[in-house]
Amino acid sequence: MRGPENKNFIEISRHLPDQDDLRNGRDSSLNPEKHRESEPIAEKLITETKKDGKKIIVFISSPKKRATETVSLVVSKIKSEAPEIKTLVRVDDRLSEIDQGIFNLPKDYNQGDKMPVLEEAWRTFFEETFTNKNYGYRFGDSSLQGDGSYKYPKFHAFFIKAGESYAMQSVRLYSAALDLYRNQKILEKAKLVVVTHGAPLAIFKDLEDISREMLENDGDLPEGQLMQLTWDKFQQRARDVSEKHGSTETISVDGLLNEKIAISLEKEIEYIRSVYINNK
C-alpha cells in the first residue's frame, strides 16, 4: 500500500501456475503455457525499481520449483529489458507453502487427477484450525483416538505422513518477516522482492495491516492472538484477486521495521512454539 506516510516497501509475488501433479510432493515445474505471464511481473519490477532510484533487485524465493522457476523467468526478462539493473537471488525455505505431507497415491494415478480425499483434507484442516481453534492440527492428520480408532480414517490410508500445522507455517513466516527488521539496511540500496505462494502472500499482507494498526493505536499485540488476527484479515479480504497466480503487490513494511512490532513478533513466535509445537 503506497502512501505519503509510507517510506519502506517491498514487492511480494505469487508464483506462476504450475503443473498439477501430486507424484512429486507438490513440487511441480511451471506450466510451460504460462511462461509469458512472467513478463508483466518483470515490467512492474523494472518500473518500481527505477521509480525508487535503485539499481539492484534482490529476490527472496520459496524453494519450490514453481517459485524458483518463476524467479528465473522474471530475472531473464529483466536482464534483457534493463541490463543496468543487477539481480541477486536467494532461496529461503521459510517461504514455502504449507507442507501437505506425503501421499499414498493409487497406482493408476495420472497427472491432473483429482483426489477427493485431498479436497476433504483441506476442508478438515480449515475446520480443525479456524473453527475448532486447533492451531496444532497437522494437514492430513488422521487423529488417533483413545480407543484406537481414527477420527479421519480416510486420511490414515491416504497420507503416509501428515503435513504441517498452521502454527508451524506461521512460525516460519513470522520468522521470515522478522528478518526484514534485522536486515533492514538492504532496503536502502535494493528493491526487495519476495516470491512465494498464496497463503504466505496473504499472511504478509495481514502482517502489514496488523502492524500498521498497532502503531496507529499505540497498542500491543495480545498474546496468542496473531494467528487468529491474520485469519480474520484474510477472511475480510475474501480472497481478493491480488492473490491469483503471478500477482505482484507493493506493500509497506514500515510497521515490521518498528522495534516494538519486532519485539511483539518475537514474543508471539515463542508463544506459538511453546503452546502448539514443542509440546506435541
Domain borders along the chain are 9-97+167-277, 102-163
Q: Which of 116-125, 141-150, 203-212, 230-239 has the weakest average pLDDT?
A: 230-239
Residue 79 confidence (pLDDT) above 70: yes
Would you say the C-alpha torsion 108, 109, 114, 116 has a positive or negative sign? positive
Q: Quick one: pLDDT at residue 5? A: 62
Let me know: does 138 contact 121? Beta carbons within 8 Å. Answer: no
Contacts of 124 (CB under 8 A, 6+ apart): 152, 155
Q: Quick one: pLDDT at residue 160? A: 96
Q: Quick one: pLDDT at residue 240? A: 57
Q: Quick one: pLDDT at residue 4? A: 46
pTM of the model: 0.92
* Mean pLDDT, residues 62-88 taken together: 98
Residue 76 confidence (pLDDT) above 80: yes
Q: Quick one: pLDDT at residue 236? A: 82
Query: Length of the chain in residues, anyone?
Result: 280
Mean predicted lDDT score pLDDT of the chain: 92
For the chain, what percent of residues have pLDDT higher than 90?
82
Q: Across 23-32, 161-170, 198-207, which has the greatest mean pLDDT?
A: 161-170
* Mean pLDDT, residues 125-135 taken together: 95
The helix (run of H) or strand (run of E) holding residue 58 is: strand 56-61
Q: How far apart are CA 220 and CA 208, in angstroms?
A: 15
Q: Quick one: pLDDT at residue 88? A: 98
Residue 242 confidence (pLDDT) above 60: no
As given in the structure block, the three cell numbers for residue 44 are 512492474
Q: Quick one: pLDDT at residue 234? A: 83
* Mean pLDDT, residues 224-249 taken together: 79
Q: Which SS3 state, helix, strand or coil, does residue 236 take? A: helix
CATH architecture of 9-97+167-277: 3-Layer(aba) Sandwich (3.40)
- Tell me which of 54 and 239 has the higher pLDDT: 54
Quick one: pLDDT band at residue 280, thresholds 50, 70, 90? Answer: low
Q: Quick one: pLDDT at residue 241? A: 44
Residue 3 confidence (pLDDT) above 60: no
Let me know: does 88 contact 57? Beta carbons within 8 Å. Answer: yes
* Mean pLDDT, residues 154-167 taken together: 97
* Mean pLDDT, residues 152-161 taken together: 97
Residue 214 confidence (pLDDT) above 80: yes
As given in the structure block, the three cell numbers for residue 277 are 509445537
**Could you report the per-residue pLDDT of 22-73, keeping only the tens digit for each?**
988 889 999 999 999 999 999 999 999 999 999 999 999 999 999 999 999 9
Q: How far apart are CA 15 and CA 35, in angstroms?
A: 11
